[in-house]
Copies of this chain bind each other. A is one copy, B any other.
Amino acid sequence: MFRHVAMFRWKPETSTDAVADIVEQLNGLPAEIPQLRAYHFGTDAGINEGNHDFVVVADFDSADDYVAYRDNEKHRAISSAFIAPHAAERAAVQYGF
């Protein structure tokens, strides 16, 4: 299994509506990217102080399949139009297990 993890800290002005739009857009990606084996994203539960605000975890059969997701045109359009304008910080790791 090869996993991609990306975390975001939103800008102070980012609204809950903007985050709902991001969730709606990401929900459409599994239908566009057959390489996705599992795709679970969401907003921090608020249990701990100092956390990032949102995380995306995407599972693939291989690193090549992750790269297909990373470079997918629809995914890149969502990242540019819906996510990047709200991202104050981003942290990411890809790893195999």
Contacts and interface: CB of A to CB of B under 8 A. Distances in A.
Interface of A: 1-3, 5, 7, 40-45, 47-48, 50-55, 57, 63, 66-67, 70, 89, 91-97
A54 to B, nearest CB: 7
A93 B63 contact: no
Contacts of A40: 1, 3, 97
- This chain: copies in complex: 2
Nearest to A55: B93
A5 B57 contact: yes
B93 A54 contact: yes
B52 A92 contact: yes
Nearest to A66: B47
A89 B90 CA distance: 13
A63 to B, nearest CB: 6
